[in-house]
Amino acid sequence: MPGSGLVLAATPIGDPRDASLRLVDALEHAHLVAAEDTRRLKRLAAMLEIHVGGRIVAYHEHNEATLTGDLVARMTAGEQVLLVTDAGMPSVSDPGYRLVTACVEADVPVTCLPGPSAVLVALALSGLPVDRFCFEGFCPRKPGERARRLADLADERRTMVFFEAPHRLAATLSAMSEAFGGDRPAAVCRELTKTYEEVRRGPLAELVEWAAGEVRGEITIVVGGGSPKTLDPDDALAAVLERIERGERLKNACKAVAAESGIPATQLYDAAVAARRE
């Protein structure tokens, strides 16, 4: 018999054979399965040739606010709730965060069955640096809001991962090209793990042209991080002195400007000390 608490379970992002043995066991034995789309869950169970043992309820963005309390009450009473979404890991651009937060506040155990992730698969296939990355989810739909969001990320040094709908792909890539520069390397990953999986790599300007045609399927975009800004040594020194005038400590000012300019902090420190003596 399963224990009590919340189990977050990753589901296949395409190929049903990626379902883990632990996911299969949990679907067969959980007291209750909360699914983003109950029809998709039943199709997955049919493809896996298993029977979902417990009660199935729909849990999605339109009812999670009202249903979360009931699920927590069930878990507090000793039931195990298995949370699955349409694909990938719950709470990553999918329902789940609200329920996890409620469980933490109620001291209800929460565990996870790891598995397929479009974010990690796209990163691995992108050919871009993966030592440091950030996940930005979906860009805003409105052009103005999207442009502002991307402008805020123009200096991001880490590799960035985005989700996008196919009908907005061309507009989003165009906005990225404007915000990051057309020569910024990127990759568009389409239909990951599925029959027609495709990865398009190249500078953003080139990907904008490609996306002008019809593109279908689930989309994950990976964009390389920005290069460090290079400031003239005199401008960098001026930036350090300006920070000091505003009350910042010399050591901290040098570290901050060094990160922006690429000039060693020790070099800036010595130059600032000499300038202040003069």
Buried residues in 188-225 as b, exposed as e (16+ CB within 10 A): bbbbbbeeeeebebebbbbbbeebeeebeebbbbbbbb
The residue type found at 120 is L
Express each pLDDT in 48-73 by its tens digit.
Answer: 999 999 999 999 999 999 999 999 99
Q: Look up residue 247 and give its DSSP letter.
A: T
pLDDT attached to residue 45? 97
The residue type found at 114 is P
Q: What parts of the chain have a pLDDT lower than 70? A: 1, 229-230
Distance from C-alpha of 125 to C-alpha of 70, rounded to nearest angstrom? 41
Cα 9 to Cα 23, 49, 50, 54, 92: the distances in Å are 7, 18, 16, 15, 12
| Cβ-based neighbours of 70, under 8 Å, separated by 6 or more | none
pLDDT attached to residue 117? 95
Residue 251: how many other CB atoms lie within 10 Å: 11
pLDDT attached to residue 38? 97
